[in-house]
Each structure stands twice: as C-alpha cells, then as structure tokens.
Amino acid sequence: MGEKREGRSRDEAERREGGLHVLGAIWGGFATTLKHLFRRPITQQYPEVRRSLPERARGRIILTRDPKGDERCVACELCSAVCPVSCISMQAAQREDGRRYALWFRINFARCIFCGLCEEACPTLAIQLTPDFEMIKADPLDLLYEKEDLLVDHCGKNTYYDYQEHCGTGEKGMRPGELPPVDPKTNLP
Ligand code: SF4
Ligand code: SF4
C-alpha cells in the first residue's frame, strides 16, 4: 500500500516537472519572437551583396587532387554506393603503374540533395562539397557534370592528405620499407 502511494506521488512529481519544462519551452519561444519583433529587419541585397558562407557549407561538388597534383579519386564507388539519390556514376580504369582512377565520373546535380554523404564516405578525400551554390540552369541536362567539370587543380579543404602515401605506394598496398602483409591462411591451425 505504502509502495503504491509512493509510486503515485513520484509519477505526479514527474508529470509536474514535465509540465513545467513544456511551459518553459513555450515561453522561451514567445520570448524569442518578441525579441525579434522590435529588431530592425536585415535585408541583404543579393546578388550585389554576397554573404560569405562557412567553409563547410554544402554546395557544388568538386573532385580534388592530392598534394602531388595527381587525381585523388581511385574510383572505389563508395560515394556512389552511399548516395541516397544515386546521382553519382563512374567507370574505373587502371594506370600503367597499377593505380586506379575514374575513366569518367558523372554527377547529376538535378538530383543531388547536397547531403554531403559522398564526402563523408570518400576514403581519399577526393570528392568535396564547396560553399558555391550558384549553379541554377534552365535545362536540367546542363546539371549533368562530367569529370572535366568536377576535377579541380587544387587539394580543396585538405592540403596535405595523400591517400596513396597513407595506404602505401611501394608495392601495391604497401609503404616503402613496410613488411609484406601476413597471409591469414598461415595462421590457420
Ligand atoms: S551530396 Fe548527397 S545527394 Fe549529392 S552526390 Fe553526394 S551523396 Fe549524393
Ligand atoms: S570520389 Fe572518393 S568515394 Fe568516390 S569513387 Fe572516388 S575515391 Fe571513391
């Protein structure tokens, strides 16, 4: 009996606390509205006056190069796999030295929702979103960007990362001086 009463009063206290929290949130919202009601409106005269967007703003996508000037993209298709609207396509090819690259690389910006998932997934930091958002076109076909439209001559946001150095360039998949990888089958009993 005593336990039941204790439980009920605990429930009531929690309900009261929850109610106060909601009231606080509502009054907070009203206070913000009132604060802005008496402020002078700020109208930006775009396009004459342009706001500088943060570096991480998600706009037009580029394909960057590593610090040596080589294409970073190794056509692993991770960006394409993660893209929720399937707007990235490419074909992989291999250079004479065994390094992979994208023979062609296409982004359909008419479908892109600038979510940034491709950038998150890219292991080489090749694909990057930029703050440039001025890419409206009358014809949706003009929003099909090919590799030559996407590939830039700089490293983008990261000026030092070199995927090939990071993962090894000596032999395929090895750094110079690195021991050869262990064959997991030799560990079998
Ligand atoms: S930003 Fe999002 S929608 Fe656009 S290409 Fe990248 S993953 Fe796809
Ligand atoms: S841009 Fe990055 S994730 Fe996409 S294929 Fe190239 S290396 Fe892979």
Map out the domains of the chain as residue ranges. 1-42, 61-167
Residue with the nearest Cα to atom 3 of ligand 2?
122
Q: Find out whether the beta carbon of 117 lies less than 6 Å from any atom of ligand 1.
A: yes
Is the pLDDT at 36 greater than 80? The verdict is yes
Which positions ≥6 away from 25 have C-beta within 8 Å? none
Tell me the per-residue pLDDT of 88-114, one tens digit each, with 9 for 90 and over. 999 999 998 888 999 999 999 999 999
Give the pLDDT confidence score for residue 9 in this predicted structure.
Answer: 81
Ligand 2 atom closest to Cα of residue 118: 3
Q: Find out whether the beta carbon of 150 lies less than 6 Å from any atom of ligand 2.
A: no
The Cα 189–Cα 186 span in angstroms is 8
Is the pLDDT at 116 greater than 60? The verdict is yes
Tell me the per-residue pLDDT of 142-184, one tens digit each, with 9 for 90 and over. 999 999 999 999 999 999 998 887 776 545 556 666 666 677 7
Give the pLDDT confidence score for residue 34 in this predicted structure.
Answer: 92
Least confident of 34-38, 64-68, 85-89, 171-175: 171-175
The b/e string for 91-100 (b: 16+ C-beta within 10 A; e otherwise) is: eeeeeeeeee
The sign of the torsion formed by the CA atoms of 13, 16, 22, 23 equals: negative
End-to-end, the C-alpha distance of the chain in Å comes to 64
Rounded to 5 degrees, φ, ψ at 6 are -65, -45
Give the pLDDT confidence score for residue 23 in this predicted structure.
Answer: 94
Which positions ≥6 away from 106 have C-beta within 8 Å? 88, 89, 90, 144, 145, 146, 147
Q: Find out whether the beta carbon of 113 lies less than 6 Å from any atom of ligand 1.
A: yes
Q: Find out whether the beta carbon of 63 lies less than 6 Å from any atom of ligand 1.
A: no
Q: Return the amino acid letter for 125.
A: L
Q: Considering the domain delimited by 61-167, tell me its CATH architecture.
A: 2-Layer Sandwich (3.30)
Which positions ≥6 away from 79 have C-beta within 8 Å? 88, 117, 118, 119, 121, 122, 127
The Cα 122–Cα 150 span in angstroms is 15
